[in-house]
Chains A and B, each alone.
Chain A
Amino acid sequence: GIQVEQSPPDLILQEGANSTLRCNFSDSVNNLQWFHQNPWGQLINLFYIPSGTKQNGRLSATTVATERYSLLYISSSQTTDSGVYFCAVEGWNAGNMLTFGGGTRLMVKP
């Protein structure tokens, strides 16, 4: 099946800093989503981005489908950005089955 790798696994930032999270996947995808998991376990949708670039406030994401990677940018980080960020992909014949990466655990210090 499709493999998803995220880097870095852990990231510690000072409030106000910028960061880039990376997601590499091993095959063509029909769907790619970025999620933020809050301390209570809820997965919050950030972006649905199988290709192209999107922006939402301080967050933006870019997926280069031909090169099989996606990037999540966080600018001017805040303590509330802390948590785990997951990339999940759906292969072309995978139905609605998402394969998740291992996540990037972000800690933003005041």
Chain B
Amino acid sequence: KAGVTQTPRYLIKTRGQQVTLSCSPISGHRSVSWYQQTPGQGLQFLFEYFSETQRNKGNFPGRFSGRQFSNSRSEMNVSTLELGDSALYLCASSLDSGLRFQETQYFGPGTRLLVL
């Protein structure tokens, strides 16, 4: 079974631009979460989508948004990019079968975003 895939793998943008990142979960997985990793703040939760609905949201400004499609693929968008948005963005998927004690999250390879 293919793992979580993310595109693009690397991206360079300038301040003020916007960017869209894509994540395809493991086949059959219904939950997709996004995380930001920076040297200063470590790994931080952005948001989680399940059945095309945002189910959880971390403490990030409204410039960060996302969506999920009917096939569980997800996109996240960052508008009006700032230098501090330079980071590794990781996507994770899980089955979310309702069996709360068996939910392993699997991570994709990440998208490395550099804002100049």
Contacts and interface: CB of A to CB of B under 8 A. Distances in A.
Contact of A30 (B44, B101, B109): B101
Nearest to B55: A95
Interface in A19-75: 30-31, 33, 35, 40-43, 45, 48, 50
A31 B33 CA distance: 15
Contact of A96 (B44, B105, B108): B105
A50 B102 CA distance: 10
B13 interface: no
Interface residues of B, number: 30
A33 B92 CA distance: 13
B109 A31 contact: no
B109 A42 contact: yes
A94 interface: yes
A103 B48 contact: no
Contacts of B100: 30
B104 interface: yes
A98 interface: yes
Nearest to B31: A96
A41 B45 contact: no
Interface in B71-116: 88, 90, 92, 94, 96, 100-110, 112
Nearest to B37: A41
Contacts of B90: 41, 43
Contact of A45 (B45, B103, B106, B108): B106
Interface of A: 30-31, 33, 35, 40-43, 45, 48, 50, 86, 88, 90, 94-100, 102-103
Complex A-B, nearest 3 residue pairs according to Cβ-Cβ distance, in ascending order: A100-B43, A43-B107, A48-B104
